Structure formats: C-alpha cells, structure tokens
Amino acid sequence: MAGLLKSLWCLSNNNKAESQPSSSGQRDGSAKGKDSNGAMAETTGTTRTRRLSSTSQSSNESTHAAKKLLQELQALNFRNIRTLKDVALSGIKGEPIDDQTYLMERIIQLATDLPYQSAESETLTKLFLTQLWDDLQHPPQTNLGPKFAFRQADGSNNSILYPNIGAAGQPYARTVRPKLEQPAARPDPGLIFDSVLARQTFTPHPNSISSVLFYIASIIIHDIFNTSHTDFRISETSSYLDLAPLYGSNREDQMLVRTGKDGKLKADCFSDKRILGFPPGVGVLLIFFNRFHNSAVEKLAKIDENARFSSIRSPQGRAGGANAEQDYDEALFQTGRLVTTGLYINIILKDYVRTILNLNSINSKWSLDPRSEEAKSLIKNKLPEGLGNQVSAEFNLIYRWHSTISQRDEAWTDAVFKQLVGDKDPASLAMSEMLIVLQKWLEALPADPQQRPFHNVERQPDGSLPDDELVSIWIDSVDDVAGAFQTRHVPRVMRSIEMLGIIQARSWNLASLNEFREYFNLTAHKTFEDINPDPYIQQQLRNLYGHPDNVELYPGVIVEAAKKSMSPGSGLCTNFTISRAILSDAVSLVRSDRFYTIDYTPQKLTNWGFKVVDYDTSIDYGCVLNKVVLNALPNHFATNSIYAHYPLVTPTKNRTLLKKLGQEQYYNFEKPKRAWPARTVLAQAEIGITTGLWSRRLIGLGGPPPASSQPLRAAFFSTLAKHEQWKPALHAFFQANIRQTWQQGKHSISAFDQIDIVRDVANETYVRFLIEAGRFSDAEVSKLGVKPFDSLDLQKLLGVLFDFGFTTAPGTTLNGAHRGQVRKLVKLIAAKVANGKHVARGDKDHVAVAVDNYLAVEGKQAWSVVAQSGEDATHLAWNQLLAEFTLTIVSASRLSAQFIDKVLSAGPAGIAAAQRVGVQATQGQSAGLDDLITKVTAESAQLTIASDAAPTTANTPASAKGPAPEAQVQTMVYNVTGPHLSVNASVKIAADLHEACAAALLQLIGPLDSFGRVPGPLGQLKQVRGEGDGILYLGERQNEISNNPSMLKVQWKKGKQ
C-alpha cells in the first residue's frame, strides 16, 4: 500500500501543479515529471521554464517527455483526483475501506485511464496486484484440521509452518552471536557466588512487591525452561506459555494428571514435580488454576454451545461410537485448557506486567499487550503473529531471580534443604553432592501427581486439599514482601543452584554481557563503574574478570545495578539489562503463539470461555487474577478482598496506592476468613432473607457497611400491596403495558411476525412497573438532578445486581459502568426517601383510589411511609430498598420466563389450549385463566436466592480451624405457589406481579395464528443448573450465565395481533 500511495501521491502532485495557471498565463513550473533518463526532475517558481539542452537530441527527448507527461496527466480528471484522495487518506489513517464508495473499482478506472504500458500504469497495476496478494496469508497460518485444533501436550504443531518449533525436546535457540574472544580460564563459580552474589543482609523490595508476583514468575520460568540433565542444550518443555507445570510437557505426563472423564484434572494437583521444591505458594497458585480448569469444563459441558460436546456422545441423536466417551473427555479437556491458559496469559499481561511497569501506582488503563491489533498504515505494517517460538539459552539465564527470595521463603528453603541433607550445611555442600540429593528427591516422588505429598497438608477423602490450608498459605504469601534485585542478595542456600547456572551458561558458549547489551542497542559497559556503582562490587569484578568485555552474561546480568523505582515505568526494579530484555521476550512469547493470537477466538474457547477469561479495564484496570482466586475459594474471600484483587503487592502498600487513587473504600483489607459452606434448603415460612450478604458485597461499590444483618423487609412494595385495589391495579397496568411493549418490539420475517417475549415484553414491562410505582419517570428523575435511566440498561443492571448480591458465589464482577449506574440509582432512591419526609401522609382510613391512578398515588405515599422509619436515607437505599427492587423485579422476571417456557413446551395442543383460555378471559371468563396460571407456575416456578442464615454445627467442616463465622450463606429454593408463599415479602410481591403479567400475556397471544417458538436456538430459553440445582440462564450469545433470563423469541403468522 505504501508504494501504491507513493505513486498515487506523485501523480496527484503532478495534477495539482499542472492544473494551476502561472502568473504569466503559462503552467506553473513546479510540476514534477520524468526526464529522458527516468530521473525525477523538479523546477520551481511561477515564471521559470524547463532548461533545454543545446543539442537537438536533448531537445527532442525533452519534447517527447513533455508530451508524454501531458498525455498521462490528462487522465487525472476529477474522478481520479477523488480516487487519489480516498486512497491516500485510507493509507494514512489505516482505517477499513468503505467498499460502498467503489474505491477498488475507481482504482481500476484510474489504471485504465492512464496510457497503456506507461510507467505509471504499469507501476499502478503492479502495486494493485501486490496489495491483493498481501491481503491473504501465503501460506496460511491456521487451518481447520484436527491436528492443529488444540494445544499438543509437547507444544508441537503450534506453528503450522514450522510444526516442531518450540516443541519439548528441542534445543535452545541462541539470540546473540558471540563475536569476542573470551578468556579460556574463567573464575571459579563458587568464588563468584561468594564474592558478588551471596546474601549478606535482607533488603525488602522497594515497591513492596509480594512474593506472589515471583511465584507467578516461577511458574512462567518453569513453563518455558526445563533443561535436560543429560544434555544442557535441550529443553524438555515447550517454548510456549501453555501452563505446562500444570498440564505436563508430554502426552504421558498429561494423562497422569487427568481423570480421563468429563475433561477434568485430578483434584488439587499439578504435573511438574519441580514445583514441590518451591515455597507452598507456588503450588497453591497452580492448584487455583487446576480448580479453574475443572470449574470451566463443568460449565462448558452444561452450556454445550451449539451441541459442541453432546454431539460427540450422540451425533444427530444416535448413540456414539466405541470411543465416544474418550472423545468427549478429550474435547472438553482441550477446550478447558484453552480457556484456562487464556486466563493465564491475561493474568501475565494485565496483572503481572502491569505491576512490573509500576502501572498499578497510577490511574491509567494503558497496558503493554503484545496482542494489540496494528493498523496497516503508511507508518507501519501489521506485526507478524502466530509464527511459532523457540526460547533461547540467553533468556534461560535472564530469568534467574533468586535475589528476590523473601526472608520467609529463604528460611523455608533452608529448612527443606536441611531435611534432605541431614546435619550438613546446605550452603557449604558441594554442588555435585547437592545435585545428587535433589535428583534422588525427585525420583522418589510418586508418578501420580495426586499421590505426591503437598507440604504436609493432608488430602481429604475426595483427593482435594482443605480450603482452610490453601487460604492460610495464600494469605501468608500475599503478606510476604519479596526481596530487592541487588548484588550480594542471593540466599546462601542457593549456592549450588547458582554454581550450576554459571556452569550451564559456559557450556552454551554464549555472548558476553556487553555483546548481549549491544544486541538490544544498549550501550556497552566501558568500565566496571558502569556495571555497578558499589565500589566493592567494582573491585570484585575487576579482580575476577580484568575487563568489562570479559564479564559473562551470567552472572553479569544480576551483578549490574538495579533500576530505581519510577512511576510509571519501573516497578520491578530489576537489573538494567534484564529490565530491557524481558519486555522483548514477553512480546515474542505471546505474539508468536498461535493460540494467543490467530486462534485466540470465541470459536476456539466458546463464547462463554472467551468472555469469562477476558479483561475489563473498568474493573481493577484490567487485572484478572481475582477470577482464579475467587473461583478456587468462594467461601473465604469477600468479593472485594484485596487479597484476591491485588495480591502482587502487599496489602499495606496497596492501601497507600489505592488511597492515593481515591479507591481505598472499594476494597476489603481484612484477612480472608472461613465461611460456613453454602447449603441448599427448601424455603419454609420461618426462613427469610437478610441483608447481610447483599450489604457486604455492595460495600465494594461504595455502599456503607451495615450495622448488622437485618431481615429484608420489602417496605416499599408492601405499602403498595396492602390495599384492595393492588391486584386490580396490577392487572390494568400489565394489560396496557404488555400490549404496548408487544407493538413496539415485534418485527416481521417472511410470513411471520416475531418478538423476544422475555426481553422486549415481560422484562421490559417489569422495569416500566418499577419506574411507574417508584415514580422514576424521566420528568420525576430530572427534578432530582439525575439523568434518566434507559429501560433496557435498568433491566440489565437489576439482573447484574441480582447475580452479584443474591448468589452463593457471584460469577460476575460489576464493571465501571455498572458501578456508576448503581451509584446513580442509589442516589435517586435516597433522594426519593428524603423527599418522602415532606409528603403528607394519607388519612388513617384509606380512601379508594381509581385503579388507573393507583400506582402513581400510592407510590408517592409509599415513599412517605419508608421515609417515616427515621433511618438514614443513604443506608436505606443501599441496604434495603435497592435490594428490595432488585429481588422483586428479577424474581418476577424469572417466574414469567419459566411460565412462558412451560407453556411453549406443551406442544401445539398445549399451546392451543392456553390460547383458548386467553381468548375466554378476554370475553370475561377468567376462572380458567387463574387456574392455568396457578397450575403452570406450580410446575415450572423456582426461585433460587442466596442469603445469610444462622450457622448450624452440623455443617461445620471437619478440617475447620479458627473462630466460627457469624453467618452462613445458604441458597434457598422457593416454590412460590405452595403453602410457603409468605416466606418473604419481596417473593410475595414478585408472585403478584407475575400473575398479572401472565394473565396479560395469555390474553394477548390467544388469537394469534400458529403461535410458538422461533425455530432453532433463538426460540429456546437456554438453561443450566447452578448451585443447589438452581436454574440459571444464558443469553443470545451464551457468553454469560445469569439468574436473569434475557431471551426467548416467539413467532406467529401475520394477520392477527
């Protein structure tokens, strides 16, 4: 495109110049053309003319050139000038081309208008062909074959062009060509360690980074590096960030960590034995990923997008083949792995790299994401992607960060090594002896990952590890400040490990420290003072190496000075060369991986998988580590716990940072503590709903902490419902509004009319009811200085709030837009409460109000009643009224969606019977209507609501430690048509609303011809089973699971309405 634009711009400039008359009436001499030798000639000025040669040959050539130029420029009419402008702007901006402007066709016209076989015509044609060729990949970098569909256990087939690149068992690459002669005799590795590496005193990290960040680093390092003990040139793991420490680096190891059923991994274990030699927090993090994988495959199977998995077991309704169960397990496992590694890479890029760059210290959503789409413009073509990666030996050395080991982890490592070597000092043990000890320890570990001991934590009968133990390890890890990058800061217990690293580096014959720096366009160290400002280190290096050019890459990269903290820019504060190299490596690792670029799609991960691991910059600036933590331990962490959301920096430092950013109040800084396991109960009359769980979760949105858990009173709607006009008023409202929303939402396709009866009719009408009863009309809201709500936005917000506040373990986190909407709604409710204090109360003996005006009049009175409670308006809004509105409206929506789905599931005869009842009701015969609503609701209705309840000792975990919690989260299943209708006022109100809605719907659909579901998935109320066997719903894209139904399309033949 750049060449094409250059040619077109040249032509454009020619045209512009030739089209302007000079002051003497001649053409401006600033035109550009080609002289007889093909070179560009340029003249300037309004009266100057082309200098002609004195020879006749030169004169003839110039004349010929001038005539040719004029002939070619005649082609540049107005149409072609417009083409030049459009092509140029498209190239400069890098924006997509609007093909409805016929730009391609106009380029063809320009080419045909130019003289046949002219230089410009031929150049334009060649460049156009080049552009068309460049539009497609040659050869393609992805295909639909099963061989390339998923990650291979050993990392092969990641690159279609180079299938073996980056596979386990391949040699390390070399990044930098070593050019300088190095001394044949080099310093003794032990001497190097003792002089410039051995820790003297501990220095905490300058930015209070926690050990968790370096646990992630440990997983990354062991994900892409596993040097063979028999051949240092070979890496026995893949060169991709594919979570090999969890899943294994070959098929045999992978099968050992899998159950072989339903795509799951064995509970709470991981493949890589080496991880057991690290502090427990590293293993706990892998266990979190293990739990996320198993949770993901469960949801993938339940959602079963487009029958992707169920069709393997029963293709086209037939019984599967002999390998159907094995294929089903494989498809679920591999898809679950893509989902889990998708979260893993987002944690690396959005949590880990963000902290490394100190972006967590500022209010910025920017991130260094190698997957960013590059526009094709004049400035730069799109970066290559998905070509494959091979890690290099140099970077094996770059990632040896033992100086950051914390004091706590140093003591842990020392104790473990002492157990292995007996009464000997690990720091003084010979390297060969230490390696033998470590090898024997690895070989003694069981092959089955679940049979391996995990830091003296006893497994439960199902093979899992107790949550309490995992939480304790995690808390200690987050609280633990890591060490600083600096010389003389590697724990002495690591002496043998460091010596081995130096020996390995020498065996690879790599470039020196200075050569490595020059490769990255960094200045070479000319003196030892350039390497490190510490006089002691300078002298030691001088004694060891004699000249800066002789300093080896390793340990050179860790004896350099460390960068100072800079906000933003420098958060890791690592040594200078390392800080530059790791960013280049991060870009290469991610952008070279086909499964993180070309094939990182909803089609590979499923819509739900792609959505659940995605990041949202309005939530924690895009950080997603909270997803894996909260999923693994739902009964311990508050949804806004700092230990889940920002664990890469110590909580104390986080409090300082978040206070500066004005966000401290949105997070819970308390240490996580055990909650009673959630339980499911059939709601009885004596079991109510409290505000405790709701209020605790909404603190993170800015809500005030409640004084104590209180019953949810439904004060507003109960006031509305206490008069006899209540139900007649409801029926009148729903009759009018259901018909109105129906007319507004329907559309025609072929011979049928269609409508989303859940989203655009039932749910929309419920939101209208809330607006009418609560007096939230645009006019009313504007008086309070609040921008009115869009009904669809309010509908979605209430659904999200229900998922967030009334579920055992919320699968959603409210993003920035939701948080702003919640605060806006709370402000509106609080203002209504405050105004209610000035509304005169009605007479003690209620005066009947006209049905059509009931909601408006009694709504105003209801605010007055609520206000007279004397409670603070803001507290009431957050802890009672917002909960009441959310629970009532969403519960009603659920009941009506279930009712509609049940009617449609009855088949043509059942639907026709329901329609007859609706027609009879319009004729005044309503008895059958009431009976049908009661019967169908009883068969279909279920409300699943989580709330606090008094704990029972029978539910105390056997492994429970510490003080007992104050309350237990329990999921209550309500049957709203049974004898326990009064279990909660909000549920009772929801049942009343549903009854009126169902009646209006049945009467509306009564006369419709051929009424039924829309064919295909759009006509289904997609459901999955959630906690406590409760019903959850999927929307049109099936990318989110929610308690709030949002889609079910129906159709009928045109003609009757």
Q: What amino acid positions are annotated as catalytic residues?
A: 399
Q: Which of 685, 897, 938, 894 is nearest to 802 (CA)?
A: 894
Whether 548 contacts 526, CB under 8 Å: yes
Tell me the pairing of strands 676-682 and 968-974. parallel
Whether 665 contacts 702, CB under 8 Å: yes
List Cα–Cα distances, 190 to 431, 434, 638, 937, in angstroms: 9, 14, 48, 79
Q: Identify the bridge partners of residue 33 per DSSP, sorted by sequence position.
A: 41
Contacts 24+ apart (CB under 8 A), 427-435: 427/492, 427/493, 427/495, 428/495, 429/496, 430/496, 431/189, 431/190, 431/495, 431/496, 431/499, 431/500, 434/496, 434/497, 435/496, 435/500
Query: Which of the 8 DSSP states describes residue 581?
Result: H
Whether 679 contacts 971, CB under 8 Å: yes
Phi, psi of 21 (to 5 degrees): -70, 145
Q: Which of 54, 36, 42 is nearest to 10 (CA)?
A: 42
List Cα–Cα distances, 68 to 111, 126, 895, in angstroms: 16, 20, 80
Q: Which of 927, 965, 933 is nearest to 949 (CA)?
A: 965
Instruction: Determine the Cα–Cα distance for residues 498 and 492; give it in Å rounded to an integer.
Output: 10
CA R_g for the chain: 36
935 residue type, one letter = K
Q: Cα angle at 185 between 183 and 190, to 5 degrees? A: 120
Contact residues for 100 (Cβ-Cβ < 8 A; gap 6+): none
694: helix, coil or strand?
Answer: helix
- Is the CA virtual torsion 806, 812, 814, 818 positive or negative? negative
Distance in Å from the first CA to the final CA of the chain: 56
User: What token pair was written down for 832?
Assistant: 């209504």
229 residue type, one letter = H
Contact residues for 917 (Cβ-Cβ < 8 A; gap 6+): 928, 929, 932, 1002, 1006
Whether 489 contacts 199, CB under 8 Å: yes
Report the b/e string of 415-447 with b at 16+ CB within 10 A.
Answer: ebbeeeeeeeebbebebeebbebbeebeeeeee
Give residue 35's region: left, alpha or beta (phi > 0; psi -120 to 50): beta
Instruction: Determine the Cα–Cα distance for residues 710 and 702; give it in Å rounded to an integer.
Output: 19
Whether 941 contacts 895, CB under 8 Å: yes
